[in-house]
């Protein structure tokens, strides 16, 4: 691969918006094991939050994907590969980045915290309703009184 081609691929991989429109690979070999990446991401993403029992599995997958990304990037940077091989590696790196973005957007499952927040909002809404129904203004006084 020529040096300008290598730089072109590295620039493409490093671009901020590289993952826009990119697809997650159906499967990918990570740390010597084949991972059905697209299915894994959609299975986890479907839940909106990661349940406590799945958190370690997702964290391990993210660590492995980051490691694999670095290894593939180093192959482009330093490896004696053809432009076509480099292009395939760049596409796979962008797919890995897309999968990592999707997994990073998931929050932990904090059911108790979410319930408490919803109760606080409901309670505030109820108090505001009662104040309006009883004719009290924000200052605590009655409306219409002088």
Q: Say which residues have a Cβ less than 8 Å from residue 51's Cβ, sequence separation at least 6.
A: 109
Number of domains in the chain: 2
Domain limits for position 62? 3-109
- Asked whether the predicted pLDDT for residue 1 surpasses 60, the reply is yes
Residue 87 and residue 99 in one domain = yes
> At residue 146, does pLDDT exceed 50?
no
CA distance 114 to 106: 15
Question: Tens digits of per-residue pLDDT, 65-117?
Answer: 999 999 999 999 988 899 999 999 999 999 999 988 888 877 554 455 556 77
If asked whether residues 90 and 122 sit together in one domain, one would say: no
The set of residues, in sequence order, having a beta carbon less than 8 Å from that of 49 and lying 6+ positions away, is 106, 107, 108, 109, 110
Instruction: Answer yes or no: do 128 and 63 share one domain.
Output: no
Q: What is the pLDDT of residue 137?
A: 59
How far is the C-alpha of 70 from the C-alpha of 29, rounded, in Å? Answer: 14
* Residue that the structure tokens 């990073």 belong to: 104
One domain for residues 17 and 27 = yes
Q: What is the pLDDT of residues 8-61, one digit of tens each?
A: 999 998 888 777 878 888 888 887 788 888 888 888 777 766 667 778 888 888
**Contact between residue 121 and residue 64 where contact means Cβ atoms under 8 Å apart:** no
Same domain membership, residue 32 and residue 94: yes
DSSP 25-84: -S-EEETTEEE-HHHHHHHHHTTSEE-HHHHHHHHHHHHHHHHHHHHHHHHHHH----HH
Average pLDDT over residues 135-145: 58
């Amino acid at each position: 691969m020529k040096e300008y081609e290598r730089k072109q691929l590295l620039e493409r991989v490093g671009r901020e918006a590289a993952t826009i429109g990119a697809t997650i690979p159906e499967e990918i070999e990570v740390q010597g094991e084949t991972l059905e990446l697209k299915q894994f991401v959609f299975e986890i993403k479907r839940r909106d939050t990661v349940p406590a029992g799945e958190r370690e599995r997702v964290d391990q997958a993210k660590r492995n994907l980051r490691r694999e990304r670095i290894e593939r990037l180093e192959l482009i940077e330093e490896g004696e590969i053809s432009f076509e091989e480099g292009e395939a590696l760049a596409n796979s790196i962008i797919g890995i980045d897309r999968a990592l973005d999707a997994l990073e957007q998931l929050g932990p499952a904090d059911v108790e915290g979410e319930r408490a927040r919803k109760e606080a909002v409901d309670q505030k809404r109820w108090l505001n309703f009662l104040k309006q129904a009883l004719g009290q203004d924000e200052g605590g006084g009655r409306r219409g009184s002088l």
